[in-house]
Structure 1
Amino acid sequence: MMRAWIQLVIAIGVEIVGTSLLKLSAGFKHPLVGILGMLLYGLAIFSFSLALRKIPLSIGYAIWAGVGTAVTGLIGIWAFGEVLTGLKTLGFMAIIMGVVLLNKPLKAPQTAPTTSRTARWRTRYNR
């Protein structure tokens, strides 16, 4: 299970670097930088798919999207001179709260009834 979380961290980090490179490509005026950014997106998705073998989709995606969005926003402020407004600060706080809430179940998780097709799918793809 720890390996899945490491894969998720790698996916987030690689996506953040890829996004920053796409910004630096200036709309592909610097095509090699843009291509490298796109390749990193592919690597991020691959790493994310490995993480999803063990991490539930709703939790994994919430963390990936939330942390990626927040860190990318902070990079925009720090590296690209974007302005941190009160509304952006509220948005960052909402992202963090959303990720926290999705990771805290209110009651015990319920398992869906297993049909033969569902069982085959789980056996095939959740190794």
Structure 2
Amino acid sequence: MGMRNFSWLLLAASIAAEVVGTLALRHADGFTRALPSAVVAAAYALAIWLMALAVRQLEVGLAYAVWAGAGTALIAVCGVWLFGEAVTLARCLGVAMIVLGVVVLHLDPR
């Protein structure tokens, strides 16, 4: 596996850590519960560290756009799946546009 491919793997791990941290916010109850609050802090720290490693080989603008877009889409899906959040046409279209945007970014040959 080349360094660039490994960097995409690091970015995917960073996205996963960010999603875990964001989902843990629901249980941290305004940072009044110790364990979920620690999960939030650790997951966000891990996400930033992995992102920092990934952008050593990836363009920071592209990496951040993929990170933010994929994280947002995954959190929206997890919110429906784990917390029973509402599924609306607007939310579905929004997530679809995010995913489409990430795909278009990947099509750039640079």
TM over 0.5: yes
Q: Where does residue 122 of structure 1 map in the other structure?
A: none
- Unaligned ranges ≥5, structure 1: 110-127
Offset of residue 49 of structure 1? 0.5
Matched, 1:6 2:9: yes
Q: Where does residue 113 of structure 1 map in the other structure?
A: none
Matched, 1:32 2:35: yes
Q: Where does residue 116 of structure 1 map in the other structure?
A: none
In structure 2, give the amino acid aligned to 1:16.
V
Larger proportion of helix: 2
Offset of residue 96 of structure 1? 0.8
In structure 2, give the amino acid aligned to 1:80.
F
How far, CA to CA, are the matches of 1:36 and 1:78 in structure 2? 20
Matched-pair contact (CA < 8 Å) for 1:12–1:44: yes
Offset of residue 34 of structure 1? 1.2
- Taking only aligned residues, the RMSD between alpha carbons, in angstroms, comes to 1.4
Q: TM-score, normalised by structure 2?
A: 0.89
Matched-pair contact (CA < 8 Å) for 1:22–1:38: no
Structure 1's consecutive aligned runs of 4 or more residues displaced over 3 angstroms after TM superposition are none
Q: Where does residue 58 of structure 2 map in the other structure?
A: 55
User: What percentage of residue pairs aligned between the two structures are identical?
Assistant: 36
- Unaligned ranges ≥5, structure 2: none
Q: Where does residue 84 of structure 1 map in the other structure?
A: 87
What is the aligned length?
A: 107
Offset of residue 75 of structure 1? 0.6
In structure 1, give the amino acid aligned to 2:52.
S
How far, CA to CA, are the matches of 2:105 and 2:61 in structure 1? 8
